[in-house]
Amino acid sequence: MLQRIIKALLFSNFPRSDVKAAYPQIMEDNRKYCIIWSAVYELFWAYCLMMSFFSPLYLPCRVIYAAAFALGAATLLLALFAAPKRPKIITPIAITVDEILLLAGVFIARQNAPKTIMIFAAVLIVPVIFITNTFSTLLMLLINIVVFVLAGSNGMDPDTYGWVLSNLCIFSTIGVLLGHFVNRTRFERYIFAETNEKLAKVQARNANHDQLTDLQNRRAYAAAVEQLEKNLPSGCRVVAADINGLKEINDTLGHSAGDELIIGSAECIRESFPGIDSIYRIGGDEFSVLVTDRNYDVENALSRLQKQCADWKGKFIRGISISAAYASADDCGDIHSAIKAADEKMYEAKRNFYESVGKERRSR
């Protein structure tokens, strides 16, 4: 039971990773609240300071108004310029704003100056407007009560002291309860928004990536080709690659070995084309690479591919064979003609591979 209460107070029943991801946005909103509150607070102290020059009721507290205005200006500047780089300072800024209000209220009450009740009411509002867990709000309000008792027990009119203390306790309790539900709702909104954003990114990635190899899939390939139809850069080349013997591996060693062969082939292609992001698995054993950098050495990459494949070793597979070829869009006229030409060259290489395998088998 105690553990459930602690979790409720700290909002610690949310996944830690989601809280961490949402933290920057929560702190940014708290910074905005701090700026707004500090600005309102500065207007209030400016009004009191101005009135101290016109009304004898305000005059005894002129030094307090000036000091509170100066400290408030400092917190406002910190919230505006320092907090974007260091979000963690928002919490001490909020505490400082509240304690300045509280202490100023105590000293003003000692002088029986006007606006005291407004100040104590504002002290209760500050902890509740920030997005934080209930434990932090409770702790801040308890600190306020302790500070008020220490600072106000001597020198303040007993009736005013008792009245303010009792109301501070009552409304602090209400503030904690209200803050719990309001802040929890706001907290949940940020956590769920972060979770939904992460889910949307995962879904978008899954829509365009092959889950087995983590290469881009046929859908992404079609979109890339469509873009190249509209804007074909000079020197664009299409590489077509196909795994040799995948069906035979599936039939003899099983689909686990076949999956290993596909994953290994994807790794070899990726490592053979460093710096190229446009690598696609467009079918069961088919891959394509779109090279738009005219200075990229495709022939050298294909040579690396053959070496990578020969050296590759897995749990079931020792060595991979891939038939690969490329065609230039400049030579073919457009991207679709280049794709067709690359496929034809690749299938010719594939026929040569199977013919050589057949000759080797017959010669044994």
The whole-number pLDDT of residue 72 equals 87
Angle at CA of residue 338, ends 335 and 339, nearest 5°: 90
State whether 141 and 235 are in the same domain. Answer: no
State whether 271 and 184 are in the same domain. Answer: no
State whether 11 and 112 are in the same domain. Answer: yes
Residue 246 has pLDDT above 80, yes or no: yes
Residue 255 has pLDDT above 50, yes or no: yes
- Per-residue model confidence as pLDDT tens digits over 275-291: 999 999 998 899 999 99
The answer to whether position 210 is within a domain reads no
The whole-number pLDDT of residue 24 equals 80
Q: What is the DSSP string of 168-228?
A: HHHHHHHHHHHHHHHHHHHHHHHHHHHHHHHHHHHHHHHHHB-TTT-SB-HHHHHHHHHHH
Confidence band of 359 (pLDDT split at 50, 70, 90) = very low
The answer to whether position 88 is within a domain reads yes
The answer to whether position 20 is within a domain reads yes
State whether 39 and 82 are in the same domain. Answer: yes
> Which domain, by its residues, includes 263?
218-363
The answer to whether position 170 is within a domain reads yes
The whole-number pLDDT of residue 326 equals 95
* Dihedral-angle region of residue 290 (phi above 0 means left; psi in -120 to 50 means alpha; beta otherwise): beta
Indicate the Cα dihedral angle 74, 75, 81, 86, nearest 10°: 130
Number of domains making up the chain: 2
- According to DSSP, the residues that pair with 327 across neighbouring strands are 238
Residue 319 has pLDDT above 70, yes or no: yes
State whether 256 and 279 are in the same domain. Answer: yes
* Dihedral-angle region of residue 275 (phi above 0 means left; psi in -120 to 50 means alpha; beta otherwise): left
Long-range contacts of residues 179-182, Cβ cutoff 8 Å, at least 24 apart:
179/127, 179/128, 179/134, 179/137, 180/8, 180/9, 180/134, 180/137, 182/128
**Mean pLDDT, rounded, for 220-246:** 93
Quote the CA–CA distance of 111 and 311 in Å, as a whole number: 88
Q: Which two tokens stand for residue 269?
A: 């292609």
**Mean pLDDT, rounded, for 40-58:** 88
Angle at CA of residue 68, ends 65 and 74, nearest 5°: 140
Q: How do strand 322-328 and strand 286-291 relate by DSSP bridges?
A: unpaired
Q: Which of 180, 205, 230 is the last residue of a domain?
A: 205
- 């940020």: which residue's tokens? 190
State whether 122 and 14 are in the same domain. Answer: yes
The answer to whether position 44 is within a domain reads yes
State whether 247 and 164 are in the same domain. Answer: no
Q: Which two tokens stand for residue 29?
A: 């909103």
Residues in the chain: 364
Query: Which residue spans within the chain are E strands per DSSP?
Result: 237-243, 279-281, 286-291, 322-328
The whole-number pLDDT of residue 158 equals 83
The answer to whether position 149 is within a domain reads yes
Q: Which of 205, 239, 269 is the last residue of a domain?
A: 205
Q: Is the pTM of this model over 0.75?
A: no
Q: Which of 170, 205, 240 is the last residue of a domain?
A: 205
State whether 282 and 315 are in the same domain. Answer: yes
Round the average pLDDT of the chain to a whole number and report it: 83
**Mean pLDDT, rounded, for 317-340:** 92
Are 313 and 256 in contact, with CB atoms under 8 Å apart? Answer: no
The whole-number pLDDT of residue 56 equals 87
Q: How many CB atoms lie within 10 A of CB 327?
A: 22
State whether 76 and 190 are in the same domain. Answer: yes
pLDDT-above-90 percentage for the chain: 35
* CATH number of the domain to which 299 belongs: 3.30.70.270
**Mean pLDDT, rounded, for 106-120:** 71
State whether 168 and 288 are in the same domain. Answer: no
State whether 140 and 201 are in the same domain. Answer: yes
The answer to whether position 211 is within a domain reads no
Range name among 82-91, 119-128, 238-247 with the lowest pLDDT average: 119-128
Residue 29 has pLDDT above 80, yes or no: yes
The amino acid present at 204, given as its one-letter code, is: A
Confidence band of 4 (pLDDT split at 50, 70, 90) = low
The answer to whether position 108 is within a domain reads yes
The whole-number pLDDT of residue 114 equals 62
* Dihedral-angle region of residue 210 (phi above 0 means left; psi in -120 to 50 means alpha; beta otherwise): beta
State whether 15 and 148 are in the same domain. Answer: yes
Residue 273 has pLDDT above 90, yes or no: yes
